[in-house]
Structure 1
Amino acid sequence: MNSSPTPPDPLFRAIEFLRAAPEPGWDAVAGRVISSVRTTARPGGYPLAAQTPPDKAGPGQIFVSDHVLRSTLAIELRQRYLCAPTRITFDMDDRTKTLRAVDIELTGSYGTDLRELANHIRSTTLDVIAELLGDTLVGQRPVDVTVTDVVTGDPLGA
């Protein structure tokens, strides 16, 4: 009689190995994948009331989806500044369909003056809101900027 234990089935060993091993290269791309999923266009959206320019007034009202505002703002911030917006949320008034506040989370670059970056982001955010919504009260909208991570180099390439 053979008293040595039977080696595990090769398929079973392979399954156990794959379950325990991380996906090669996942650490390098995880942030970009998560960011891409977050910025993917979704159906629906919440309508925000836009103000019609006085010289173009007519019947009806114009609305801009919060998805349009979010994606436009993210693109503008990525193009202008050395940062990667990771979350942009809006506080909206359900009754009037107006924007009350903006909350932005981002990854910055090591060595950047983060207070100055936050000030620039607030200003750009207000400019984008004014451009898209024609909002004359745009300066009264609070824009909170939180730096949630700092990386060496370009945060978009991290």
Structure 2
Amino acid sequence: MAIGDYDVLARASRVLRAAPEPGWAQIEQSVIEAVRRTPRAGWPIAVADPAPGSAPGRLRVSDLVVRTLIAQRLAADRDVALSDVEVVLEGETLRAVHIEVSGRFGSALPRAAERVRALAGAVVAETTGHHADVTVAVTDVHR
């Protein structure tokens, strides 16, 4: 190989990228679970005090809690698969939740999107005691 023979390097790179990593199939799930268990910092969201004035302090919940609860509850809906949950904050006030889902082919997608919207709105209300604008976009279709 001569200096500057980039075709050989490019071909070798393609071959190596296409080759499966030995043993990956056996460890893939444990790697994914380890990444999910890794602590992450979240943004604080103000929570309505259920008993104002009864105790000093402020109540906050992480945006990760809201995202996780939405994801967990959506897992039961066979017509959608969650793609993304974005929370929009203004300071510590939750203003909006934007959700992207993949819809099951053949399902009534407008009704599925409305179920997602209602579920997410209920999660926000139960978790924070407030309401936020919830938008749902069906960005893909799956079988």
Tell me the TM-score normalised to structure 1 length: 0.67
Q: How many residue pairs were aligned?
A: 123
Aligned pair partner of 1:92 in 89, 93, 99 = 89
| Shift in Å, 1:56 | 8.1
Asked if the contact 2:83–2:101 (Cα under 8 Å) also holds between the matched residues in 1, the reply is yes
Letter in structure 1 aligned against 2:75? R
Percentage of identical aligned residues: 30
Name the counterpart of 1:107. 102
| Shift in Å, 1:22 | 5.3
The alignment yields a C-alpha RMSD, in angstroms, of 2.9
| Shift in Å, 1:69 | 0.8
Residues 1-158 of structure 1: pairs in structure 2 closer than 5 A: 18-19=15-16, 21=18, 23=20, 40=36, 42-54=39-51, 57-94=54-91, 97-135=92-130, 138=131, 141-152=132-143
Distance in 2 (alpha carbons) for counterparts of 1:85 and 1:93: 24
Alignment deviations for residues 30-89 of structure 1 (CA, whole Å, 9 cap, x no partner): xxx8xx69x935421100011111378311011000011101111111124432111100
Tell me the TM-score normalised to structure 2 length: 0.73
| Structure number with larger C-alpha Rg | 1
Residue 81 and residue 62 in structure 1: after superposition, are their counterparts in 2 closer, same or farther (change >3 A)? farther
Unaligned 5+ segments in structure 2 are 1-8, 22-28
Letter in structure 1 aligned against 2:93? T
Letter in structure 1 aligned against 2:86? T
| Shift in Å, 1:19 | 2.3
- Runs of at least 4 residues off by over 4 Å: none
Residue 86 and residue 42 in structure 1: after superposition, are their counterparts in 2 closer, same or farther (change >3 A)? farther
Letter in structure 2 aligned against 1:146? A
Say which SS state the counterpart of residue 74 (structure 1) adopts. Answer: helix
Tell me whether 39-48 or 117-126 shows the greater mean CA deviation. 39-48
Say which SS state the counterpart of residue 40 (structure 2) adopts. Answer: coil
